[in-house]
Chain A
């Protein structure tokens, strides 16, 4: 933390950044909140610890439009989100200074967040400066997905239908997701109306499936959608199921390699073709 503060001061003094996006103590709740630190502002209340669960990348497109150059504090998962943003031209690397922090896991309600168990990179894959330990990459287990896959289709449908029925279509999952940024979301389109706006099971199912498919091969598993869901729908499960499929087919985990274009939007001659090979389920 000391080193991070020192580096940020240095960046401000050298005029390399105009603002730094990080975490600040929130005395009101005893937690932390996302905060923009500007030059000559105190960095004393800047923190980084297990409470810093928020993905800051979602704020970046707005900030880079306002400030010339923005420093950003990144956990491993946030860094993976950032890769997607860079590949999809949401942000240009020249607009940011990435401050990667070796993350030892973050907490929800005092317990380690579930997403940290299968974390692909504890250090941001994009980092101009690295702080703290850099752990080695782990192979994912996708344990939760495999549990669901063991269910019969009927059981599985019941499992999800019970959750989807509770969805109130607040779209918090969409708003918090850095990769959900369409100018006009498919859920808001009127002609043709792809998804009924009312919160009923069929329309809710449609929404969650489309959301998950739009994130296939792009979702970096920051887990924010699931965290913010007021109905506690296990949204990461859908994302992880697709992440697992992409990993099995292409050996890729989204966001772990800087500048890597998601495998589902590029065609390589040696791409696996399970349909042609007759291995499709």
Chain B
């Protein structure tokens, strides 16, 4: 026999200022189902919960209705209160008399009447609620990290150190990401490669890390604890098992015109090449668009000179499926193509380069071997203008957001420039200098005060190429209120940080949210910074928003700790509020499987017939199959026809 306890919350004045809570209690406590009714200022507080617990103990109530805010806020709170007293947590129901009543109803009389109706309906409903048991599903304690930049490497290493297997999938031929392309790093000016390569090597040598380069995620099935991920390895035409990394192929390859992505397109490389000297793994890849063997069936020199017989021209993409329990997404960012800024001559003037290209021009592994020379004529630039916020903070043309890293790397660039060209002059055109990190402000001051960078506050209007090979930069100095122009040898555009081109496609595969710019959205901007809307999928690095190296590393470690705490459990508890098939009523038409978004419905034998079966681990309880089943053979536990029907017929 159901004995319902009814608890009406004031929510301070949120509810009580419109709803006469005492009248709600008095009206409802005479209902035959109700054994106890009470109101309290804050039901979610400890004394409020104690009221429920006491009523369970002393008044022997066995069903609970809480009339308060949305169940999204506090249903778990009250479920816990029931469970503490040994009552099944699914025997509580909530009536939302705040968002759906007091907040949206002006007249107190009407609000009170509506509250009574809403609560009465839940009382009728809760009587038909069945106790449900949480479902335990086993978990695969291995993780997938997508993206082999610094955030992904850090996440992979931390998970691996926690004694769990990690598969690190990287789409390019080497791990290392953007950080591998940088020269020196702010705010300490230590060499990027020198601090990164030990981590790359550690990842490669770690017994718990499996690195899969040249690979991309193609499909994601399953759910937290039990993901099934299809990974495709692109055709590289080099057998990684046989290759000894001697790079003879690269030297002998006659096709040396492939734009070098690692050098941001500033130089060319061979059609078969190791992406950069410190690459991990140091295995070359053939570019099928340029290789003469693959395009014209000629040449084949690399295969002839290879001492290990590692070149395989008939290589094909290979797919396989990996099973993991958690996924860390660390796909990073790309630098915006400045071509849309035609007034700056982005992509058009050879000596107007991007921030990343400047990194390569001053790097000892770059196209100039570390001597800063401008791309057009190899002249050492004596005047350089650094233009900030190209594409950032510019809603009319590109992005409203701040790219976060450019203020700092531009300050760094001015220093690197000064170190390469001591008699040169750096100008920086900026809107604001944003340097909130630890020792960041000091770093910028040092660029200005000690390294002689001249900061001009204002936006560059236009860059014109002069007859004498100089570039006239038209800008302003708003601090003195004057238009200025500078004749520079070279201009560096701090081009915006953008999400990867295929960021949205991957998000849709993973079922995670993304913002209007294409950056992945965390589950909560403050309290859940690395979680996503999909349980078991975590974020690290610039794929979530522009980030510098320290922040990317922090987030990589944070994501790893989330993965490890998930893996600390042996099984996963999932909600029992999922669809259940009554096989005696099921006709086996499997229309339900057509509407199931989660591929959670399969066929099974039932006597002589075939019927539908719900895979409990995959079902998310959306109810689409329930609505589709004409024979009413499917029930959503916790939302049975009985419960809904009682709720509907109790409407006056």
A residues neighboring B (CB under 8 Å): 65, 88-90, 181-186, 189, 191-192, 214, 261-262, 265-267
Contact = CB atoms under 8 A, between A and B. Distances in A.
B419 interface: no
A215 to B, nearest CB: 9
Nearest to B595: A265
Contact of B595 (A88, A90, A182, A267): A267
Contact of B631 (A183, A192, A261): A183
A181 B608 CA distance: 16
Interface of B: 584-591, 594-595, 597, 608, 610, 628, 630-633, 641-642, 645-646
A186 B631 contact: yes
Given A182-B633, A184-B631, 6 more contacts: A90-B589, A186-B631, A191-B642, A192-B645, A262-B591, A266-B595
A51 to B, nearest CB: 32
Nearest to B591: A265
A261 B632 contact: no
25 contacts: A65-B608, A88-B587, A88-B589, A88-B591, A89-B588, A89-B589, A89-B590, A90-B587, A90-B588, A181-B587, A181-B589, A182-B631, A183-B587, A184-B585, A184-B631, A186-B632, A189-B632, A192-B641, A192-B645, A192-B646, A214-B630, A262-B591, A265-B591, A265-B595, A266-B594
Nearest to A215: B630
B586 A183 contact: yes
B551 to A, nearest CB: 35
B633 A183 contact: yes
B610 A89 contact: yes
Contacts of A184: 584-585, 631-633
A125 B206 CA distance: 60
Nearest to B631: A182
A192 B648 CA distance: 12
Contacts of B591: 88, 262, 265
Nearest to A189: B632
Instruction: Classify the secondary structure of A's interface with B.
Output: loop
Given A88-B589, A192-B641, A261 B594 contact: yes
A265 B642 contact: no
Contacts of B597: 267
Task: From B589, B610, B633, name the one whose CB has the most chain A CB atoms within 10 angstroms.
Answer: B589
Contacts of A267: 595, 597
Nearest to B609: A183
Contacts of B590: 88-89
Contacts of A265: 591, 594-595, 628
A72 B554 CA distance: 69
A191 to B, nearest CB: 7
Contact of B630 (A186, A192, A266): A186
Contact of B584 (A89, A183, A185, A186): A183
Contacts of B584: 183-184
Contacts of B646: 192
Contacts of B587: 88, 90, 181-183
A214 B588 CA distance: 16
A225 to B, nearest CB: 16
Contacts of A266: 594-595
B608 to A, nearest CB: 8
Nearest to B583: A183
A90 B589 CA distance: 6
B127 to A, nearest CB: 13
B629 to A, nearest CB: 9
Closest CB pairs A-B (n = 4): A182-B631, A88-B589, A192-B645, A265-B594
Nearest to B645: A192
A219 to B, nearest CB: 12
B630 A182 contact: yes
Contacts of A261: 594
A61 B8 CA distance: 56
Nearest to A88: B589
B582 to A, nearest CB: 9
Contacts of A214: 630
Contacts of B594: 261, 265-266
B213 to A, nearest CB: 33
A89 B610 CA distance: 9
A183 B584 CA distance: 7
Nearest to B633: A183
Contacts of A181: 587, 589
Contacts of A186: 630-632
A265 B587 CA distance: 16
A91 B641 CA distance: 30
A191 B630 CA distance: 16
Nearest to A192: B645
A50 B588 CA distance: 35
Nearest to A265: B594
B585 A183 contact: yes
Contacts of A182: 585, 587, 630-633
Task: From A65, A90, A183, A267, name the one whose CB has the most chain B CB atoms within 10 angstroms.
Answer: A183
A191 B644 CA distance: 12
A75 B597 CA distance: 36
Nearest to A61: B587
Nearest to A264: B628
Nearest to B642: A192
Contacts of B608: 65
